[in-house]
Amino acid sequence: MIDLIMGSLGIIASTAGVVIGLYTLQKVRSVESAQSETSKVTQKLLGVDNIESDYTKMIVFLSQIKTPELKTTQLLMELNQRLGSIQGIRRTLSASGLGDESKMVALQKGFFCQEFLIENIDRSTSCIEILTGRSKLISAFSIMEQLRIACESGVKVRLITLCENADTITIEDALQTVAYPAPKNAEDYREQLRRCTKDIRETVLEWDENTRKNFQYRTCQSVPRISSVRTDDYINLGFLQLYRDAQPKNTSEREYIKISTSSDTGKVLLRHFECVWDSNGNTTICNGDDASALPSDNTNIGLDESGKNDKTST
């Protein structure tokens, strides 16, 4: 009888493991108002009620044995502990729909692919703030056109990317994180940064004055510690700084989290962007009304009077 109970216990324990695993996944991904309903469905599908009931029946049965063996006593103790764990899981699942939804974190896919940027730019109504180490995708016609439309409608845009004049060590470090197809080497990447920065500036200079005044662009001398895209009251935080070989080759599979600007983490990210922005005023590429006054070639942007890199911390 004890062996039968032990076998049943193993099956129930395995099922409980699935419950715990799915609960963890749900805890990370759940952010919509359907959380409460999702947790109820999850409990029903996995039979949490039945698991709890089976544990209770076993405990009652073993407790009725007048002269239990040591093995039986140990099993009874283990069953009580596991029943407590299952009940704790039930309570957590039931409560997972509670809380301030505006401050919950959602795990999503497709960070910094073309569709992601177009969707976020298109939905913005007041501000867009982009911090990234690479400017290639942003310089593409489709993205710049979406930014133009946003600026034309009154949306304030601020962009920060890696400076082409960053030192070689920094460029080589950044190169390790660039998505496929990656530049061949540091100099190839530096040339790509130069060309993209130039394309962005020249595109903005073609906009009318009222549109152009809503677009500001600066570059930084070191690889940004984070990559983020803010649109209005939300910040999308990605993991572009992870090494390329550790990430999915398809950018549509790269995950990110969406955070409310009113959350504690959101407030930290807002302050971080301001710190990076303020510390790189000497590498301004486009500055609203002043954009037309910028030189036609920015090869010396980011260098001090001696021609050396003027490094700033990001």
What confidence score (pLDDT) does residue 239 get? 79
- Whether the link from the prior residue into 68 is cis, omega within 30° of 0, is no
What confidence score (pLDDT) does residue 49 get? 60
* Sequence spans of domains, the chain: 2-99, 106-293
| Alpha helices in the chain, H assignment, sequence order | 2-29, 35-46, 48-63, 70-95, 114-123, 141-152, 168-175, 186-205, 209-212, 264-278
What confidence score (pLDDT) does residue 189 get? 94
What is the chain's pLDDT, residue by residue, as a tens digit (314 residues)? 555 555 555 555 455 554 554 454 455 455 444 555 555 544 444 455 666 667 677 766 766 676 667 666 777 677 766 766 666 665 655 555 445 554 556 678 888 899 999 999 999 999 999 999 889 999 999 999 999 999 999 999 999 999 999 999 999 989 988 887 789 999 999 999 999 999 999 999 999 999 999 999 999 998 888 899 999 999 999 877 788 888 888 878 888 899 999 999 999 999 999 999 999 988 999 987 654 444 434 443 433 333 344 433 33
161-194 CB burial, b ≥16 within 10 A, e <16: bbbbbbeeebbebbbebbbeeebeebeebbebbb
What confidence score (pLDDT) does residue 249 get? 80
Sheet-wide strand order for 106-109:
106-109, 255-260, 234-238, 227-231, 127-131, 156-162, 215-220, 284-287
3-state secondary structure of 45: helix
Q: What is the DSSP string of 76-115?
A: HHHHHHHHHHHHHHHHHHHHTT-S-GGG--EEEE-TTSHH
What confidence score (pLDDT) does residue 298 get? 43
CA distance 118 to 44: 39
What confidence score (pLDDT) does residue 255 get? 87
CA distance 213 to 198: 18
What confidence score (pLDDT) does residue 75 get? 74
Write out the CATH class of domain 106-293: alpha beta
* Cβ contact 189:174 at 8 Å: yes
3-state secondary structure of 29: helix
3-state secondary structure of 162: strand
What confidence score (pLDDT) does residue 106 get? 60
